[in-house]
Amino acid sequence: MRLVLLVAQKDLLIERRSRVLLWQVAPFGLMTLVLCGLAVGPNASTQAKLAPGLFYIVMTLVALLVINRTSQLESSRGTATSVQILGIDPGAVFLGKGLAMFIQLSIVGTALLAGTTVLLHVPLHAAILTLPVLLLATATLSLAGVLYGRIAASSANAGTLLPALALPAFAPVLIAGERAFSSLITSGPLARWVWLLGVALGAYACVGLLLYGALEES
Amino acid sequence: MKQLTRRALGPLALASSVATFVMGYFITPPDKVQGELARLLYIHPAQAWVALYLSFGAATIASALYLWPRTRSMVADRVAASAVEVSTLFIGLTLLTGSIWGRPTWGVWWVWDARLTSTAVLGVLMLGYLALRRANDDPQVRAKRSAVFAILTAINIPIIHFSVMWWTTLHQGATVFTQNRDLKIHGSMAWTLLLSFIAFSLDFAWMVRARYRIADREAGQRDSELDAALRARRTESAS
Amino acid sequence: MTVASLCDVVVATGSFPLLSGVNLTLESGMTYLITGPNGAGKTSLLRLLAGLEVPSRGSGAVLGFDICSAERRELRRHVGWLGHETSFYPDLSPTENLLFAARTTGADADFIPSALERVGLAHRAKVPLKSLSAGQQRRVSLAWLLVRRPQLWLLDEPFASLDDEGRDLISQLIAAAQSSGATVVLTSHGALPAKTNASSIVMVGGRIVESAS
């Protein structure tokens, strides 16, 4: 646990120094949200109906940026070597990077949720109630992202390879998040989507703890 | 015995495929509801079986064997990669034949049905696997990353399936068996359907074996190149 | 006592052999200098000793850990590494980088200030690593060696990109490592400063052609 927190703290400290989240990722997310609004037309009721799906598409794209950024932190040969020499437990690295990514995505996600509420006319009560589901979705995206980021890292064209590998796997998170958000607006069934996200989160956590070491060795 | 089985595989696969075609096209009657369109059912379900269960199942098991230290070998990696290539091909064929069947039945080439969508997502994941293999030159690195990706995909499949199934579904319901497991179709149609599953399974085995042999030869060539390079390097150091 | 023993080790990337059959024995407490032309395999051999390369063929053990198995991970925790490239995280300061390294490995973080002082970086301990020169960045890795105090020091061209003061510093640190009983393996294109005594290992074409051990 201590190692997990150290790794997470290190990643968050690097982010605080570089401020990539603040100056690059968040503006990208916001601009994409605006583009979504423009793409679906000015009708407020259409925008409100499509808002949950559009929000989660934007979140998925933002997640890709954050994942790419996080996996690039150790991509240079010198940094990768010096970190390998430390011999940190791979399970701790996996969870630590996942935790750092979760915190970053949650911050951006919450800001984007507020933006969605305003720009795409989502009822405020639904936006507030969807926050726990958003946190569950970002946790899932984070753990999955650490794995897929590691798979793609150090490969040729890692930046373009990552979306090809990760986006299909993110589809269930997109679906579950959108359905849950829509259910909160229309008072539809919610439990099954929360359950699905929980199962996905558990699955990624187990696979990551088992196999992250093998990825690090490669 | 092993050699006999190997030699018989190709001819058996060919013979059973031809038999399926002959039976499906010439011998079985048209369906009373779907008419001639029903003949696609001798191809489409068997392709889906090979794509989603047989090939990807083989790829997952081979990947797990590679990742387990006691059973780790490049044979497992090559089997996994070969099975994924075959799976990708059959997923494409499944979606194609499904579309051809769906157009006159549903009126559109594509619907966001649970099974179709899950199959399409799996197809994209398979393409991702193939892209990953091309992105790494080192055989060990490639094998490890591909194996982990295959395991992740295997875990994702039920999650994707349930998410899309709860989202919506329009797909054909149970066609072959009723809820009481009684056979819905009879006679020559049932036998032809069974034959198609056997034929496509044999086709799968033959294709994976052929692809494996190519991969094995490529690996052998790399080993030869390494041996030649070692000799050259040793000569360089001796001079 | 034998620190490392390699038997016909081949390390290949694709079908190109970086090391084409290395046989080597290293004794504890000794200092070894590996020389050779570019592409001889000096860095690859150091990386192999550090547990950073996977042998394609052959066998070996370093500090009692089998380099052909997953024991490589444990081996890495016991070696000290100084490479060509910038180590650690460029956005963090030397102090932050060393604190992270110390806390994750259980090394004594109290040594960090004195280690940075020793390598002449006390006045730049809190600026981001990327704002230091290449030579200064390498000194951070040296500081880590002083904090970690490993049994096996692996230094890849430690005198490169350093001024006279830096070269003196490296010589002193190597001498200190020798007197503490550590084994030091370093590579160099040219001769070492006169104060540094080392057994010679010459590499050509991925093999050891001459060894004083």
Q: Own/partner pairs for A112-119, CB < 8 Å, 24+ apart?
A: A112/A26, A112/A29, A112/A30, A112/A33, A112/A55, A112/A58, A112/A59, A112/A62, A113/A55, A115/A29, A115/A30, A115/A33, A116/A33, A116/A51, A116/A54, A116/A55, A116/A58, A119/A33, A119/A34, A119/A37, A119/A47
CA B182/CA B196 separation, integer angstroms: 20
Q: Which residue has the tokens 């001639």?
A: B36
Residues C52-71: b if buried by 16+ CB within 10 A, e if exposed: bbbbbbbebbbbebebeeeb
Give the CA dihedral A24, A26, A30, A36, nearest 10 degrees: 80
pLDDT of residue A75: 77
Residue A10 with chain C: CB contacts under 8 Å: 89, 92, 100
**What confidence score (pLDDT) does residue C196 get?**
64
Average pLDDT rounded to a whole number, residues A203-210 = 94
- Contact at CB, C17 and B140, closer than 8 angstroms: no
What integer pLDDT is reported at residue B170 of this predicted model? 44
- Phi, psi angle pair for B183, to nearest 5°: -70, 130
Q: What is the pLDDT of residue B1?
A: 66
Per-residue pLDDT tens digits for A42-68: 888 888 889 999 999 999 999 999 999
Query: CA torsion, points C45, C51, C53, C54, in degrees to nearest 10?
Result: 120
Spans of chain B, pLDDT less than 50:
170, 174, 177-178
- C interface toward A at CB cutoff 8 Å? 47, 50, 52, 54, 70, 72-74, 76-77, 79-81, 83-92, 96, 100-101, 103-105, 128, 141, 144
For tokens 């039945």, what's the residue? B105
pTM: 0.87
The pLDDT value given to residue B2: 67
Domain ranges, residue A105: 2-217
Tokens of B9: 């595989």
Measured distance CA(A54)–CA(A32) in Å, rounded: 9
- Quickly count: other Cβ atoms within 10 Å of residue C175's Cβ: 15
pLDDT under 70: residue ranges of chain C: 86, 190-196, 212-213
**Taking CB atoms and an 8 Å cutoff, what residues of chain C touch A1?**
none
Spell out the domain ranges in chain C: 1-78+151-163+174-213, 87-149
- CATH code: domain C1-78+151-163+174-213 is 3.40.50.300
Picking from C1, C32, C15, C30, the residue whose alpha carbon sits closest to that of residue C208 is: C32
**What does the alpha-carbon distance between residue A152 and residue A80 come to, in Å, rounded to a whole number?**
15
Find the residue in A nearest to B131 (Cα): A161
Asked if B152's CB is within 8 angstroms of A169's CB, the reply is yes
CA distance C74 to chain A (A): 7
HSE-CB at B111 with a 13 A cutoff on CA atoms is: 20
pLDDT tens, B177-190? 445 555 556 677 88
Specify the pLDDT at position A218: 67
d(CA B77, CA B56): 13
ipTM for the assembly? 0.86
Buried-exposed string C111-132: b where 16+ CB fall within 10 A, e elsewhere: bbeebbebbebbebbeebbeeb
Q: Is C186 helix (H, G, I), strand (E, B) or coil?
A: strand
Contact of B138 with chain C, judged by CB distance below 8 Å, is answered with yes
| Tens digits of residue pLDDT in A169-182 | 899 999 999 999 99
Where in chain B are the domains?
A: 8-209
Backbone angles phi, psi at B154, to 5 degrees: -60, -40
For residue A175, which amino acid is it? I
Counting the structural domains of chain A, the total is 1
Tell me, what's the pLDDT at B66? 94
